[in-house]
Every structure is written in C-alpha cells, then in structure tokens.
Amino acid sequence: MHTPFQPSEQVWATLKAINEASHRGQPFFFILDFELQESVFVLEPLQQHDGSLFFDFPTAKTPDPIGTKGKLTLTPSPEAPERYAERFDIIHRGLMRGDSFLTNLTIRTPIETEASLADIYLSSEATYRVLLPGRFVSFSPECFVKLQGDELATHPMKGTIDVRIPNAAEKLRADYKEGCEHHTIVDLMRNDLSRIAEGVHVRRFKYLTELHTSSGPLLQMSSEVVGSVDRSKGLRLGDLILQLLPAGSISGAPKERTVALIQEAEGHPRGFYTGICGYFDGSSLDSAVLIRFVEEDASGAHFYRSGGGITINSVAEDEYRECLQKIYIPQ
C-alpha cells in the first residue's frame, strides 16, 4: 500500500466491495474521500436509484434531482490574504527544505447563495457531475483514471489562463511556474501508473481544452498518460485504485511528506473534496477527481473549496488570487 493514509474500516469494506463487483463484472458507483476515512458504494446505481446519489458522467447518468436550473449567484467571504499567507509560508518552507517539489494548497470559503446543492448540480456544466444530497456537489473537469479493455489512462490537469488574454494559449504553454507544476504532475502520475500497469508512457503532452464558466472562458492544460493492465486473472479494481491515492494533481510530490505539509497548512480534513469517484459499467471504468466543489454542513451553510499547486517559485499573492478566481459555477 503506497497511500500515506490508513483507510478506515468503512473504506476497506468499500475497496473490498469494489474488488468483488469488478471481478464479477457488476456495475457500481463509488466515492472515496481524500483521507480515506469515508466512502460511498452503490451497486447497480442505474437500476436501484433511490435519490441518495446523483451523477452525470460521459458513460452514464442517473435521473436528475428535483431542483431549478438557471444562472446562479455566489457571494464568497474569503479568508484574509494574511491568513492565506500563513498557510502558504508553511508550504513554502517545506519546499525550501526539500520536503516537497509541488504541494497543492486549498482553502474553504464560505459562500452565500440562494441555490440548493441540487440547483447547482442541475445548473453546472462539467464532464463529471456528482451530487450527494446534504453533503456536496462537484462539477469536475478532471478525469482520475479510465480503464477500457486493457488500457489504463489518466489525464493530469495543471495550468489555467483566461482565454480573453492576448495569445493566451502560447502564454500558458510558456509559463515557467505552470510548466514546472505540469511536468511534476505528469512525472508523478507516470510513476503512479507504473505501479499497476505496463508500458506506461505519455501519449499527449500539454494539450489545451476550453472551459466556459460564470466568470468567463478559461483554457485548461492537460496531458495523457497511458499503460496496460493484465486482466487475464480477473479484475480487482479496489486494489488498483488504492495504489494511486491520493490523486497526484491535488496532493503533490513526493506524496507522504507533501500530505503532511498539506495537513499542517490547511488545519482540517478535506473530506470528500479532492477525493475521487467512479462508475464501472461491468467492463470499463471512468473516474474523476472531486474538484470544483461546494459542500454543505449540518447547519445548511455552504462552502466552496478551491486551491492550486505551490512550487518554490510561487508567490503568495498570486496563489491567493488564483484560489478566489476558481470560485465559480461552470455554466
């Protein structure tokens, strides 16, 4: 087990259920939180839908929840720049010591909105949408891993820029700090996949996709890393997934020391935010990283979770601004 977290009994049970269902070829949907303390597992989610979970993936979707679709307004109350700078300094000192080469630092921002989680789910546009009523909604553009036949692929995503900036694509590809982040994550995911797959290589590097958000269009930079998995003795997806956690793009490298830095700087568990979710159709797996994320606490208050990668060349003011720029609903 390469993960820096010790899974809870609930998560071990979910991983076992994933192993058994994938070996049988039975469809399921699962969610694992960042710290591997909480999980959700639903067999035959399209046939046994009870309203406790909603998802919309490229490969499958559940019926929609009851809610209102339309333009939404979020009013954030972000933490002071000085508080973010304190968190940043913890990370930066760790980078200077050589504890980490790249660390993903996130913040939890209270937001005011008249929209419910179901409204946000219905109104958002993303490749992967997930709603756990009373807990969170995620509208994520980021694939974790895909398994089709013997091919295992991941698409690490690092680097964004406003499309409206002149020569935006060229500037993003040439940006030194973004380039350092992207190279590090691609290398980390290549190493992670090599634990469970053969012939791992980068098939596409630094390709760009356009995202449409309530704050304007963005370019997002990604790469594609692929390898092959031996399925001749059956599939045990739970064992394979555990070897890859936490996802490199939302933790950093090396993982164990980087996670310790994250916990010191952030000061509270991430929970389902930056965890993973996935749908297995009986043969193929499609999964996502839970970013672009709004959570709801027991009192009904809402919080937007956002963050970014910190390198030795990062500047606190720029990273703080990036965290706030990411508080949006893609529509």
| Model confidence pLDDT, tens digit, residues 190-227 | 999 999 999 999 999 988 887 776 667 788 888 899 99
d(Cα 199, Cα 193) in Å, to the nearest integer? 10
pLDDT at 285 over 60: yes
Q: Does 1 score more than 60 pLDDT? A: no
* Interatomic CA distance for residues 272 and 295, integer angstroms: 9
Cα angle at 198 between 193 and 199, to 5 degrees?
A: 100
Name, in order, each residue with C-beta under 8 angstroms of 59's C-beta and a sequence gap of 6 or more: 279, 281, 284, 286
Look up tokens 């965290």; give the residue.
323
pLDDT of residue 180: 79
pLDDT of amino acid 214: 60
**Average pLDDT in the 296-312 region?**
95
Distance, in Å, from the CA atom of 289 to the CA atom of 27, rounded to the nearest integer, reads 20
* Residue 126 burial (10 A CB sphere; 0-12, 13-18, 19+): buried
Task: Summarize pLDDT for 50-104 with one digit per residue, the tens.
Answer: 899 999 999 999 999 999 999 899 999 999 999 999 999 999 999 999 999 899 9
**pLDDT computed for residue 209 by the predictor:** 82
pLDDT beyond 90 at 183 = no
* pLDDT at site 41: 98
DSSP 281: -
- Least confident range from 43-57, 150-164, 262-276: namely 150-164
Using DSSP's 3-state secondary structure scheme, residue 242 falls into: helix
- How does pLDDT run across 167-179, given as a tens digit for each residue? 888 888 888 877 8
pLDDT greater than 70 at residue 269: yes
pLDDT at residue 207, rounded to an integer: 87
- pLDDT of 43 reads 97
User: What's the pLDDT score for residue 266?
Assistant: 97
pTM, two decimals, is 0.91
Contact in structure between 60 and 281 (CB atoms under 8 Å): yes
Instruction: Report residue 50 CA to chain centroid gap.
Output: 25
131 has pLDDT over 90: yes
Please state, as a whole number, how many other Cβ atoms lie within 10 Å of the Cβ of residue 220: 17
Instruction: State mean pLDDT over 257-283.
Output: 97
Residue-wise burial string across 2-29, b where 16 or more C-beta atoms lie within 10 A, e elsewhere: ebbbebeeebeebbebbbebbeeeebbb
User: What pLDDT is attached to residue 136?
Assistant: 98
pLDDT of residue 215: 65
Tokens for 328? 């949006």
What is the Cα–Cα distance from 331 to 323, expressed in whole angstroms? 19
* Average model confidence (pLDDT) across the chain: 92
H-state helical runs in the chain: 9-24, 81-97, 117-123, 168-174, 176-194, 237-242, 255-266, 316-325
Q: First-to-last CA distance in the chain?
A: 39
d(CA 150, CA 228): 5
Mapped onto helix, strand or coil, the DSSP state of residue 123 is helix
Predicted pLDDT at 213: 65
Q: Look at 48-62, 111-125, 151-165 and tell me which has the smallest mean pLDDT.
A: 151-165
Q: What percent of the chain has pLDDT over 90?
A: 72
Q: State residue 188's pLDDT score.
A: 87
